[in-house]
Amino acid sequence: MKGLKIAVIGGGSVYTPELIAGLISSELELPAESVVLMDIDPERLEIVGGLAKRMASSGAKFRLELTTDRRQALAGADFVIAQLRVGGMAARILDETTPLKFGVVGQETTGPGGFGKALRTIPIMLDIAEDMEELCPEAFLINFTNPSGIVTDALLRHNRVRSIGLCNVPMGMRHMIAGWLDADPAEVELDYVGLNHLSWVRGVRSAGGDAFDRAFSAAVARAQQGEFAFSASLLETLAMIPSYYLRYYYQHDGILAEQKRAARTRGEEVREIDGELLSLYADPSLATKPESLNRRGGAHYSTAALALISAIHNDKREVHIVNVRNAGALPDLPREAVVEVPALVDGDGVHPLASKPLPLYVRGLVQAVKVYEELTVEAAMKGDDRVALRALLAHPLVPSFDSAQGLWESIKEANRPYLPQFFTSP
């Protein structure tokens, strides 16, 4: 059987050693023959790629190549993993600080911060997907690039490549809940529903049996001890286990106050962590993924990616939680909208599994955020100020038209180099 070519766009990410470690361990039945790390930043590529090469030199069965040439990386690929950050940390920090001036949480994927990030990222991801149509039309695009749900929505609406959006949150929740149940994560299945970074677990099975009540009681007990991100009364009100990103909705004002008091944003912290990681990676005696990579938030991302690739390649008919076109799985949302739900994975890709309707008390939030996401994709494609304003106005965290206008002016200006679609005259 022909070995696989896996291309990683944004291969200079500090997360890459986690992916390389996963690829080296042969557990996943992945006959990778060639792995190409591509990045536009040659220095990062050399440092991260250097560590990746040292890791691969003992025991990897694949050839590892580094390149700054995207087309070379994509040519003939079977799987493309996208994990890039348009504008780097500087742009993230602006995404996190601008909304604070308008009384809205500053977060890189949720709310107006995620909006700016989406507008910068969608055109670049579509360029990559267009290259894929030409250079590897049968390949799957596994997208981690944030905001992953919106970016995947844009890809599936405007390009023919087989794109799948992935996030580490579902895998993280599975591990967390398995820990509560003292179960093997591989034996735990979640009835998981919503959008990327806007999701709830409403059912749990462990080793084939219903384990939701036990998992839910464990969550409530932890909440009572102050060991969970949400209060026991919120959990009891929801009767579901919310994912971490719902804090930005359910605890909006508290988080906003915390962020305003904080000496620095998460992006500023991450910039420091990344600097430390890169100096570790540059040490020629290091040949393994350092423990301190755990200080970044994306734990389990490589497990999610490689298990998904293996399920497709080996036609496993397994269930994975992915960002996929709804196609009627969630009756409360449009068929063409991208949702984050369990899907059956086989050699043809991902097929969302039919889901029960959303509980009434979260339906409005999910629908409103989906409308915002659709408008965001439209704004990114058209470079139309009016559509951008409509997107912000539709977002449940934006309190007024005045704030929407102020936000748009600031976001547009802060992202000027990355938003040519809004600055070219008609």
- State which of residues 270, 329, 333, 337 lies at the interface with ligand G6P (CB under 6 A): 270
Residue with Cβ nearer ligand G6P (143 or 206): 143
C-alpha span between 243 and 200 (Å, rounded): 6
- Maximal CA-CA distance, the chain: 60
CB of 205 to ligand G6P, least distance (A): 23
- State which of residues 31, 123, 297, 383 lies at the interface with ligand G6P (CB under 6 A): 297
- State which of residues 53, 214, 266, 363 lies at the interface with ligand G6P (CB under 6 A): 266
Residue with Cβ nearer ligand G6P (299 or 393): 299
Residue with Cβ nearer ligand G6P (248 or 422): 248
Taking residue 311's Cβ as centre, other Cβ atoms within 10 Å add up to: 22
Residue with Cβ nearer ligand G6P (49 or 114): 114
CB of 301 to ligand G6P, least distance (A): 7
Burial letters for 317-327: b for 16+ Cβ neighbours within 10 Å, e otherwise?
A: eebbbbbbbbe
CB of 122 to ligand G6P, least distance (A): 16
List, as one string, the DSSP characters of 211-237: -HHHHHHHHHHHHHTT-SSS-HHHHHH
Q: Minimal CA–CA distance to 212: which of 202, 221, 220, 200? A: 202
> Given 15, 192, 244, 245, which residue is catalytic?
245
Q: Minimal CA–CA distance to 220: which of 203, 207, 237? A: 237
- Segment near ligand G6P (CB under 6 A); pick from 3-11, 51-59, 295-303, 397-405: 295-303
CB of 419 to ligand G6P, least distance (A): 22
Identify whether 192 is a catalytic site residue. Answer: no
Q: Minimal CA–CA distance to 8: which of 55, 78, 92, 59? A: 78
C-alpha span between 304 and 244 (Å, rounded): 18
CB of 405 to ligand G6P, least distance (A): 29
Residue 14 backbone phi and psi in degrees, to 5: -65, -15
Taking residue 158's Cβ as centre, other Cβ atoms within 10 Å add up to: 15
Using CB under 6 A as the binding rule, the residues of this chain from 111 to 150 that contact ligand G6P are 146
Using CB under 6 A as the binding rule, the residues of this chain from 45 to 64 that contact ligand G6P are none
List, as one string, the DSSP characters of 293-325: GGGSS-TTHHHHHHHHHHHHHTT--EEEEEEEE
Using CB positions, name the residue nearest to ligand G6P: 297
Using CB under 6 A as the binding rule, the residues of this chain from 149 to 178 that contact ligand G6P are 167-169
- State which of residues 53, 296, 316, 390 lies at the interface with ligand G6P (CB under 6 A): 296
CB of 22 to ligand G6P, least distance (A): 16
Residue with Cβ nearer ligand G6P (66 or 308): 308
Taking residue 336's Cβ as centre, other Cβ atoms within 10 Å add up to: 12
- Segment near ligand G6P (CB under 6 A); pick from 46-54, 296-304, 362-370, 394-402: 296-304
Indicate the SS3 state at residue 289: coil
**# residues contacting ligand G6P (CB under 6 A):** 9
CB of 196 to ligand G6P, least distance (A): 8
- Segment near ligand G6P (CB under 6 A); pick from 125-133, 173-181, 290-298, 389-397: 290-298
Residue with Cβ nearer ligand G6P (110 or 206): 110
Return the HEC string of 78-122.
CEEEECCCCCHHHHHHHHHHHHHHHCCCCCCCCCHHHHHHHHHHH
Residues making contact with ligand G6P (CB under 6 A): 146, 167-169, 266, 270, 296-298
Q: Name the residues annotated as catalytic.
A: 245
